[in-house]
Every structure is written in C-alpha cells, then in structure tokens.
A = this chain, B = another copy of it.
Amino acid sequence: MTQSQGSTSTAQPMHPALAGLETPCIVIDAAVMDANIAQAAQMAQQAGVKLRPHAKTHKMPLIAKKQIEAGASGITVAKVSEAEIMADGGIDDIFIAYPLIAESKIRRAIGVSKRIANLIVGVDSEEGARLLSRVAISEGHSLQVRLEIDTGLRRTGVPYEEALELAQYIHSLDSIQLTGIYTFRGALLDGKSTKDIEAAGKAEGLMMVELAERIREAGVPVQDVSVGSSPTGAFAATVPGVTEIRPGTYVFQDRMLVEFGTCALEQCAAYVLATVVTSRPEEGHAVIDGGSKTFATDVQPNTNPLQLRGFGHVLEAPDALLERLSEEHGILRTAPGTSLAPGDRVRVIPNHICSTINLHNHVYLLEEDRVRQLDVAARGMLE
C-alpha cells in the first residue's frame, strides 16, 4: 500500500532549498508538520479530550512548543533526561510516562517538578510507589503520579485485574497524589486494517474508563484516563470518559502509519534526503548513502502484521525497493525504466520515524524557502 504501482513519482518535486544540504540527512517539511499538528489538535478538541503528544518522536523543544501553541495541554516523555531537556526548552507541563524505580531518577524528576508548572510521573508497582513516596517526603515535595495499566501489550504496567488494589495502596501513601491512570497498546497486536485499529482504540478506551470508574467507587479520586497512540488515539478519544490521548508519531507521520491507513503518504512530513552513490541500471541495482545508521530498522519489512516492502519509500522512485541496509549503504532494487545515476538525490520516507530521528544529531526544517538546522536536543539520551 505504500508502494505506488506506477514506475514514475507522483510526489512534489524536490525543493531547490535542499540543494545545499549534504547527505544523508533528515528534512522536515514544516507546512506538512504544522498541518499534522493542527489536525490532531482539532480532532482532540472535537472529541473533548486533552492532547498530550509524546515528544519521543521529535525530541525537539521547538516542536513541542508548536504542539502546545496549537492546543496540546502538555507533552509526554519516556525519560527523566527528556523531561529535563524539555523543561530547559520552556515546556512547563510534562508527563514522564514510564515507571521511575531508581532513587536518583526520582530526585531528578522532583528537580524538574520544582521548576515547571506541572510534572506527572508513572508508577506500576507497590515497590515503585513506596520509593516515590519515600523520596518525595525526603525532598519535601509532593509528586503527582499516574498508574500505568497493562491492557494487553505486556510491557510495563500493572496487570489490569490487580490495578484497583494497587491504586488504593498508592492513594494511601504520603507525598504522592494519584491523579490518573494511563496505558499504551499501540496497534501492532491488533492487526493492521483501519477497522482493527478502530476496534483496538475503542477497546482500550472502554477498558480504562471502566477501570477508572471502579477505582473512583473505591474512593480514589482519579481524574485522568490517558490512552492512545497515533493509530488508535482518534478512536480512543471518542469513548466517553477518556480524558486524554498521547499520540507521538502523528507529528511527522511515517510509512508504518500509512500502512495502518492512519494517514496518506502526502502527510508524511519527514524524510531522509540521500544521494545515489553507485548505480547499475542494467542490473536494477543502486546504492544510496544511508544505511542502518540513517534509517531505523526496528520496524522490519514484511513483519506481521505490517506488510511494508523494504526499509523506506523512495519518493523519486516509488517502485524501487530499499531491500538491504548495511551501516552506511542502502541497497535499492530498482524497477525497469528507473534511472538513478550517481549524484542523484532521493527523498525516502522511513518505516519508523521516531527511532530514525533518534539516529540523527540534527535535522533540517524546510520552511517556505529556507532551511533551518535543528538539534535533536533529547536524542541519544540514556538515563
């Protein structure tokens, strides 16, 4: 579905402002990104839910600010280090959607909490909750927490059926306020048709709303019911009682979301600009200067339920298959009639943009007729 059947490109021609860039590099089309940001904000507003985008996709404070200016209530991050970078960048409402179980990280999170308007951290166990409470008491600071629920992905999160008891326990602890519950399922476990994704999103929302009700009936006043991903968020948002969605990838979109039917290829705002370094048209063989250190490989071609062919979609040669990556080489199998000569430049939409951005120290933002370099400020952050 991401592979055009025509042998010629239907994409917009490459902007002349890109001519000065060396390759490989990531280019972000600001107009397409802004439209994605506006569309998600409008969708959330119409559904009456808060939008708290996951900044793991872009890792850039400037883009987080654009999301908030467009109506997002705050952002989501996965790491304390990302929260620190985003707070440094002026973001003042941050949810660290990850269970913090190391004292040093909890102290750092409290440090962020003391300097921004609103910080929320994840918790998914009794031990974790006890540690959060103990450190918060020792820092003389009350911490807002949300309980992560495992709704089927079997990653982090308390098992659904144990959540009520754990919520009551967390509520009993000092210096931490349990204000919500959250979950992440994504759509990978639920097939790939739009119908599957709609069903997954709604099921996720219904499970969480029902659980939140039982927690409230037990005397724990949780307000926030936070769910959703880029593919499922729009559907989860329609479930009464859901208060917040946390899509991330939507800001750029990628080939995986096109495959899911979540967006059109034309809505993909980020692509890798690469140069053909070797070409043997008669053999249907061409090599570009980007490999597994330029394109993320965590969404593999032809993996179930994804049917993506190759590691990316080449706008200039839609039938070309990016079939093999070494670290700095991408091997294209080209269709008859495709002419890619050494020195030619191509734009490649990667399978998974979040982990692809994370490979790059900086990206280039294409705004009308200028190109601006942006550091991926929170990339490669470990702790």
Chain A residues within 8 Å of B, Cβ to Cβ: 21-26, 56, 78-79, 98-99, 101-102, 104-105, 124-125, 127-128, 154-157, 159, 186, 275, 277-278, 280, 285, 287, 289, 292-294, 296-298, 300, 325-329, 331, 342-343, 354-355, 358-362, 379-383
**A297 in contact with B298 given A22-B383, A124-B278, A342-B127 (CB within 8 Å):** yes
User: Considering the complex of A and B, which 9 residue pairs feature the smallest CB-CB distances, nearest first?
Assistant: A22-B383, A292-B298, A361-B380, A78-B328, A297-B298, A25-B382, A156-B278, A297-B297, A155-B329
Partner of A296, one of B101, B292, B380: B292
- One of B26, B277, B327, B383 near A298 (C-beta < 8 A): B327
Instruction: Select one of B285, B325, B362 contacting A154, CB under 8 A.
Output: B285
Determine the distance from Cα of A246 to Cα of B105 in the docked complex, in whole angstroms. 41
Q: At the interface, is chain A mostly helix, strand, loop or mixed? A: loop
Question: Are A380 and B354 neighbours in the complex by a CB distance under 8 Å?
Answer: no
**Count of this chain's copies in the oligomeric assembly:** 2
Cα-based distance from A328 to B293 in the complex (angstroms): 18
B361 & A358 in contact (Cβ 8 Å cutoff): no
B78 & A327 in contact (Cβ 8 Å cutoff): yes
Closest B residue, CB atoms, query A124 = B278
Alpha-carbon distance A383/B293, docked complex (angstroms): 12
| Sample of 10 more A-B contacts, CB < 8 Å, known A79-B328, A124-B278 | A21-B383, A56-B328, A78-B327, A101-B275, A101-B342, A125-B278, A128-B342, A154-B285, A360-B380, A360-B382
By a CB distance below 8 angstroms, the chain B residues around A329 are: 155-156
Q: How far is the CB of A191 from chain B (nearest CB, A)?
A: 18
**Nearest B residue to A81 by beta-carbon distance?**
B22
Q: Which residue of B lies closest to A153 (CB)?
A: B326
Q: Are A155 and B297 in contact (CB under 8 A)?
A: no
Can you report 27 residue pairs joining A to B where beta carbons are below 8 Å apart? A22-B382, A22-B383, A23-B383, A25-B383, A26-B382, A56-B327, A98-B277, A98-B328, A99-B277, A101-B275, A101-B342, A101-B343, A102-B275, A124-B278, A154-B285, A155-B278, A155-B329, A156-B278, A292-B296, A292-B355, A293-B358, A294-B382, A327-B354, A358-B359, A361-B380, A362-B382, A380-B380
- Once bound together, how far apart are the Cα atoms of A194 and B296, in whole Å? 30
Nearest to A341 among chain B residues (CB) is B127
Question: Given A155-B287, A297-B297, A329-B155, do A105 and B381 touch, yes or no (CB 8 Å)?
Answer: no
